[in-house]
């Protein structure tokens, strides 16, 4: 949550900060601000609302302002207004910072600082960090810095960070050091981009890639100090460390709209190409096996697993639920999917030969990362399924698989979901092959998996037909999404997509559970979306459709092409290609993504920036 960008170099900082904030706006768009250093003067401009509002308030870029920090906010503590916008100043006016994260002990620290005469202007937890650093900087208890290699600003930052409980990604400046930029990280992502005589700190590579592809990923409890002479990295306990430089694996084109009206639509339409890349080099059609290089050294432990626990949140949890069904069906290993936010606060039973799979598009989801750390402490082998190379979960887990679908900018996840299911399918097929699946069965699933991208292409061609369905139904405020078996999680995901971007209340259910309460909601004209493709429970779901129709509901039915029987049960029919039951979710979810997209556009909503949501949930 929240976007941070900071710059020190040889160009005016203001346009670089604004450009970076625009690229990070999907991480938060409640308010925004920039702070620019001019000699020993700090100029801060901030506003509530979108980046465009902030941009309109700024004067022409000053060529001498080559150091600055910027922030776009997703509110946690304090309402989204100008006062609570970042950057925040300390009480002396010398130190400014931008923050992503949550400080859990801010109340105690604020009470202490008020007692010391510090004043506060905002309702945020972030201002506590600024004032704590400012207090230590101005009142070092009569002592100079205890380390010769630190100036007083660095020492105050280190000392303050050691007092914080919670998470932070920080960019900091001080008017007494007008050519110094500091970044620090714990629990929230922070990346350093290395250009030619210029440096960019950001919470996401999207703000960096236009300027450089050379980056360093900070780890927890690490900080970087940057001056025109170079940079140094150390722990917040002042232990110097060497960080390896990495190469960003996507281009600027990947984060441009490329003619689409919204990133979400672009990413829906990218799914065939994205899945082709995800599957590329991993389906061995000759030997009928799956090649997942990231976990090649761990197949022995994974194959011998007695229990697999999948941890995820939101859309990734829905993908995990499909993965649970796939692994149990094809590999016959006891598998369960848990919300990471619940797992981390339970006392879970993790026995020998338990594997933990963590799924996260960003690789930074706070709850999922905490679940991984808890599992590792209890001796479990951890496996990450993430999209962002170099992300914290990718670096924390013992092994893992990258999605390889490129950046996903739209807040409502689409191509990452289908890729997560594809990776879980590959994992399940290969586990099954190593345990009990015959060669012909493995060949069948691998062949069918390779055809999924072309089958999604066929569904994408239905966009205009689906738009007409949205036009006929999007005024209704309550919907049901119903599926069975492998398509039950698809119903959950379809309902979530509609909620996220159209603000329509929608409930996803196993179709048979409708009779146990939710059927009371059905009234005349209420839309009910059924995933009713040919499967082992086809006849059962036909019965569920009849139950809705008998009570006046309008049925939107996703069914197989050529299924003449089901037409009589559908007020609106969306035909999709035939796919084996286990692999259907990657195809059946696509029309639901398109339906949600068109409904949101028709209702006049900002599809890529839905209210109250941000892309990467890096705070609890």
**DSSP per-residue letters across 230-273:** EEEEEETT--B-----EE--S-GGGGS-TT-S-HHHHHHHTHHH
Spatial distance between the Cα atoms of 32 and 204, rounded to a whole number of angstroms: 16
Structure tokens at 302: 């994974």
Spatial distance between the Cα atoms of 51 and 72, rounded to a whole number of angstroms: 8
Contact by Cβ (8 Å): 164, 140: no
Query: Token match 């304090």: residue?
Result: 78
Select which of 2, 174, 269, 474 is catalytic: 2
Q: Is 269 a catalytic residue?
A: no
Cα Rg of the chain, angstroms? 26
Spatial distance between the Cα atoms of 60 and 366, rounded to a whole number of angstroms: 38
How far CA 437 is from CA of 50, 242, 567, in Å, comes to: 53, 47, 36
Structure tokens at 617: 């949930």
φ, ψ (nearest 5 deg) of residue 173: -140, 160
Three-state secondary structure call for residue 85: coil
Distance of CA 176 to the CA centre of its chain: 37
Three-state secondary structure call for residue 29: coil
Q: Is 615 a catalytic residue?
A: yes
Spatial distance between the Cα atoms of 173 and 183, rounded to a whole number of angstroms: 9
- Exposure string of 447-477, with b = 16+ CB inside 10 Å and e = fewer, is ebbeebbebbeebbebbeebbebbeebbeee
**DSSP per-residue letters across 363-425:** S--HHHHHHHHHHHHTT-EEEEEESSTT-HHHHHSSEEEE-------SSS--HHHHHHHHHHH
Structure tokens at 451: 């055809």
In this structure, how many other beta carbons lie within 10 angstroms of the beta carbon of residue 258? Answer: 11
**DSSP per-residue letters across 560-571:** ETT--GGGGG-S
Contact by Cβ (8 Å): 87, 98: yes
Residues with a catalytic annotation lie at 2, 615
């Amino acid at each position: 949550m929240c976007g941070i960008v900071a710059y020190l170099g040889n160009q005016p900082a203001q346009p670089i900060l604004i450009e970076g904030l625009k690229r990070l706006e999907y991480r938060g768009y409640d308010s925004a601000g920039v702070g620019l250093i001019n000699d020993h003067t700090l100029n801060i401009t901030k506003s509530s609302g979108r980046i465009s509002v902030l941009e309109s308030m700024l004067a022409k870029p000053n060529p001498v302002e080559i150091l600055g920090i910027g922030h776009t906010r997703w509110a946690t503590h304090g309402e989204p207004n100008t006062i609570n916008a970042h950057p925040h100043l300390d009480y002396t006016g010398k130190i400014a910072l931008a923050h992503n994260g949550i400080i859990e002990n801010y109340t105690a620290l604020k009470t202490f600082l008020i007692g010391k005469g510090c004043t506060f202007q905002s309702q945020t937890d972030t201002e506590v960090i600024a004032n704590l650093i400012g207090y230590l900087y101005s009142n070092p208890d009569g002592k100079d810095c205890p380390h010769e290699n630190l100036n007083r600003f660095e020492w105050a930052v280190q000392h303050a960070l050691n007092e914080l409980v919670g998470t932070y990604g920080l960019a900091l400046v001080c008017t007494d050091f007008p050519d110094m930029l500091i970044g620090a990280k714990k629990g929230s992502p922070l990346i350093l981009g290395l250009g030619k005589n210029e440096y960019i700190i950001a919470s996401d590579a999207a703000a960096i890639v236009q300027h450089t592809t050379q980056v360093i990923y900070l780890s927890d409890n690490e900080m970087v100090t940057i001056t025109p002479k170079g940079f140094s990295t150390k722990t917040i306990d002042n232990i110097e460390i060497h960080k390896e430089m990495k190469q960003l694996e996507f281009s600027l084109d990947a984060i441009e709209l490329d003619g689409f009206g919204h990133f979400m639509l672009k990413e829906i339409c990218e799914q065939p190409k994205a899945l082709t890349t995800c599957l590329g080099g991993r389906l061995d059609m000759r030997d009928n096996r799956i090649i997942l290089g990231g976990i090649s050294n761990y197949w022995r432990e994974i194959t011998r697993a007695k229990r697999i626990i999948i941890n995820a949140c939101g859309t990734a949890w829905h993908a995990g639920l499909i993965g649970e069904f796939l692994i149990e069906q094809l590999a016959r290993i006891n598998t369960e999917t848990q919300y990471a936010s619940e797992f981390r606060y339970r006392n879970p039973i993790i026995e020998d030969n338990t594997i933990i799979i963590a799924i996260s598009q960003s690789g930074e989801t706070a709850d999922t990362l905490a679940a991984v750390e808890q599992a590792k402490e209890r001796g479990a082998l951890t496996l990450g399924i993430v999209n962002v190379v170099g992300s914290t979960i990718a670096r924390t887990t013992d092994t893992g698989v990258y999605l390889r679908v490129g950046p996903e900018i739209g807040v409502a996840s689409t191509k990452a979901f289908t890729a997560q299911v594809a990776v879980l399918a590959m994992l399940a097929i290969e586990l099954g092959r190593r345990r009990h699946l015959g060669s012909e069965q493995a060949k069948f699933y691998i062949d069918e998996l390779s055809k999924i991208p072309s089958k999604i292409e066929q569904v994408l061609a239905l966009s205009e037909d689906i738009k007409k369905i949205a036009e006929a139904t999007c005024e209704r405020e309550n919907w049901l999404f119903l599926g069975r078996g492998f398509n039950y999680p698809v119903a959950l995901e379809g309902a979530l997509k509609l909620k996220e971007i159209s603000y329509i209340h929608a409930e996803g259910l196993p179709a048979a559970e409708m009779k146990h309460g939710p059927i009371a909601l059905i009234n005349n004209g209420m839309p009910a979306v059924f995933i009713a493709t040919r499967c082992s429970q086809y006849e059962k779901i036909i019965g569920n459709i009849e139950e809705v129709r008998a009570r006046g509901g309008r049925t939107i039915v996703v069914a197989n092409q050529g299924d003449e029987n089901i037409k009589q049960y559908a007020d609106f029919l969306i035909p999709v290609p035939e796919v084996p039951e286990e692999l259907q979710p990657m195809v059946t979810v696509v029309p639901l993504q398109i339906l949600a997209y068109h409904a949101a556009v028709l209702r006049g909503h900002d599809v890529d920036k839905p209210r109250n949501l941000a892309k990467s949930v890096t705070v609890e």
